[in-house]
Structure 1
Amino acid sequence: MSTSPTPSQQETKGAIELTLAMVLSGTIGIFVVESGASPFNVVFFRCLFGALALGLYCLVRGFFKNHGFTPKKLGLAALGGVFIVFNWAFLFQSYETTSISVATVVYHTQPFYVVLLGALLFKDRLTADKLGWLAVAFVGLVLVAGVSLSDLRSGSAYLTGLGYALLAALFYGFSTVITKRVTGVRPHLVALVQVLLGIPLLLPFADFGEASNLGGGWAWLAGLGLIHTCLMYVLMYSAYQKLPTPKIAVLAFVYPVVAMVCDWAVYGHHVSLLQALGIPLIVAASLGNNLGWRILPRRSTAPAPAELRVPRRTTTAGNNR
């Protein structure tokens, strides 16, 4: 006699799944760098291998039956795919000129682009608290960026890399606000549409001459498709169904922590003390935004003292107006 798992057991399983997904996400930078491929080649082959793996998974699970797509939903998924594919390309480009650590932390300002774009494009309510957390995140971003006066004067490659990370975050924001409008469709199928779209979209940018000389780099590229696109998404979407929003928001920060540890352990990169001061600001701002924390004090709603209250005048039928 089998018993179904309790809500607590389901939540525990979801937490394990999301933690694993975020750990995998934190290793993406190593796979990108070790592949030896250019950013556009990395994204092209990630889409190719990822589409094959995700397509097979969806086929085995029977997701193509009653898929829920309409022409409008398919168009929105494809448009979101344009932004998600170029988001990857810009992020991977940022790795080359900054570091995995800095690029990942700067990229993690993406929730605020989602807030701002939602307000601009869909008239979502932008509260004073959200603006406050946005200001906190901006201060953290300035500290993490660690831009010097010489960088500003010379327009260094490092500064360009920061721009790529911010552009990647912006494109992720566009993809998120668009994809959120695709309802009634399994997220695995939405992701499959997006990586399928990436193949013809990036074909003009792919350098097959470079690809022919990658050697062992092919294993890293295949890993990006099979592990970081198929397996990671399957774990992530499964976890989202089991977890409340607060836990999802907190566990999302496993990703940048793992990325920073990997960058230090493998490449010896580490952030400065000043940059480290900015990281908790971005973390706190992102959590505050996602969890609805108040940054401004509530207005007091306590009743006025009895001696200050104006007595209510009794009303009679004769003086009603």
Structure 2
Amino acid sequence: MNKSEEKIGILQLFCAMVMMGTVGLFVIESGQSAYNVVFYRCLLGVVFLVAYCLYSGHLKDHHLTLKSLLIIVISGIFLVFNWVMLFESFKIASISTSTVVYHAQPFFFMLIWAASYKERVSLNKILWMVVSFVGVSLVANIDFANFTLSSSYLKGIALALSAAVFWAISAVIVKGLKGISAYIITLVQLGVGVIVLYPFSELSGIADITVKQWGCLFILGAVHSCLTYIIMYSAYKKLSAPIIAVMTFIYPAVAIFVDYYFYDVALNHVQMIGVVLIMFSSYAVSQNFNFFWRKRVVNLN
């Protein structure tokens, strides 16, 4: 891979991460329930992603079988409810807190993968996991002196963690699929979201949705559920794993900035320490850093 392609990939992934970091803003500004937001996101996402897949030819060579379709449908159920919980968490806790806590997802993926395939989790990864969850407790802003925590805030943290678990389950389910385009997988998952969330959505109030709110929903569908994934998957092909791992931290950084700029919500010093612990431990696991700073662990599998 030449340097020119790598630079393009870095620019693409940077744009994708910035767009993902703004999801919370459009969720809040849409003024809709979490179920409504995800329903419209999936519905509009399907429309635009079908158009892209028709244009790019992905629908012709989809390589879907009945078994693989069933696997994607199951993963889609977990994915869409992951969004529901995360978006509800934005409203109850905050965009920044929920996004950072949500970034504990690699550890849940590791645990679920190990449990599903009976693989041993190394002590090194367990220690980094402990560091991450210490970070989660700091971001949650627990008053350790009196051990009190706002019940609604606790619910928001719990929803963000649950969303991370559901994302991890969805990712583990589809990880074994071979030869199927990521765009097709995403398209099926979004289609599942439309069907599954329809009974939960309050569509009777559709006439009351303002132009501004429709604009937010349109952006969530067209940009965050279609354009972002197109750019992101394209970038992945051009970049190495270490570069991707580093750049994923742009997402929570942008979310923290958005929360501060638009809603005047700022993390305190203790919470920022938690952010650093979560982000660094996640990176350390992805890069197989040794917890005790000896020789770097090399994974030959």
TM bucket (normalised to shorter chain) is over 0.9
Tell me the CA shift for residue 138 of structure 1: 1.0
Tell me the CA shift for residue 67 of structure 1: 1.1
Question: Normalization by structure 1: what TM-score?
Answer: 0.88
| Cα deviations by residue, 1:61-109 (Å, 9 ceiling, x for unpaired) | 0111121111111111111111110000000000111100000000010
Moved more, 36-45 or 287-296: 287-296
| Cα deviations by residue, 1:283-304 (Å, 9 ceiling, x for unpaired) | 11000111111113659xxxxx
Letter in 1 for 2:94: S
Structure 2 alignment gaps of length 5 or more: 296-301
| 3-state secondary structure, aligned to 1:212 | helix
Percent identity, please: 40
Question: Normalization by structure 2: what TM-score?
Answer: 0.94
1:101 aligns with 2:96: yes
Tell me the CA shift for residue 281 of structure 1: 0.7
1:176 aligns with 2:177: no
Superposition pairs of residues 208-287 of structure 1, within 5 angstroms: 208-215=203-210, 216-287=212-283
Residues 170, 15 of structure 1: CA spacing in aligned structure 2 closer, same or farther, 3 A cutoff? same
Tell me the CA shift for residue 10 of structure 1: 1.1
1:48 aligns with 2:43: yes
Question: Residues of 2 paired with 1:293 and 1:247: CA distance?
Answer: 15
8 Å CA contact 1:152–1:159 kept in 2: the answer is: no
The aligned counterpart of 1:59 is 54
Question: Residues of 2 paired with 1:25 and 1:52: CA distance?
Answer: 19
The aligned counterpart of 1:319 is none
Moved more, 7-16 or 229-238: 7-16
Letter in 2 for 1:243: L
| 3-state secondary structure, aligned to 1:68 | coil
Superposition pairs of residues 42-191 of structure 1, within 5 angstroms: 42-148=37-143, 156-191=151-186
The aligned counterpart of 1:12 is 7
Letter in 2 for 1:240: Y
Q: Larger C-alpha radius of gyration, 1 or 2?
A: 1
Tell me the CA shift for residue 179 of structure 1: 1.3
Question: Residues of 2 paired with 1:296 and 1:128: CA distance?
Answer: 11
| 3-state secondary structure, aligned to 1:293 | coil
Letter in 1 for 2:96: S
Question: Residues of 2 paired with 1:151 and 1:89: CA distance?
Answer: 32
Question: Residues of 2 paired with 1:217 and 1:256: CA distance?
Answer: 24
Paired residue for 1:197, among 189, 192, 196?
A: 192
8 Å CA contact 1:109–1:286 kept in 2: the answer is: yes
| Cα deviations by residue, 1:221-269 (Å, 9 ceiling, x for unpaired) | 0110000010000001001111111111000000000000011001100
Residues 44, 155 of structure 1: CA spacing in aligned structure 2 closer, same or farther, 3 A cutoff? same
The aligned counterpart of 1:3 is none
Letter in 1 for 2:251: Y
Tell me the CA shift for residue 154 of structure 1: 7.1
Letter in 1 for 2:244: I
1:39 aligns with 2:34: yes
Tell me the CA shift for residue 144 of structure 1: 0.7
Residues 243, 151 of structure 1: CA spacing in aligned structure 2 closer, same or farther, 3 A cutoff? farther
Residues 154, 106 of structure 1: CA spacing in aligned structure 2 closer, same or farther, 3 A cutoff? closer
Letter in 1 for 2:254: V
Question: Residues of 1 paired with 2:106 and 2:28: CA distance?
Answer: 26
Letter in 2 for 1:235: I
Question: Residues of 2 paired with 1:245 and 1:190: CA distance?
Answer: 21
8 Å CA contact 1:151–1:158 kept in 2: the answer is: no
Residues 254, 205 of structure 1: CA spacing in aligned structure 2 closer, same or farther, 3 A cutoff? same
Question: Residues of 2 paired with 1:236 and 1:154: CA distance?
Answer: 37
Structure 1 alignment gaps of length 5 or more: 1-5, 300-321
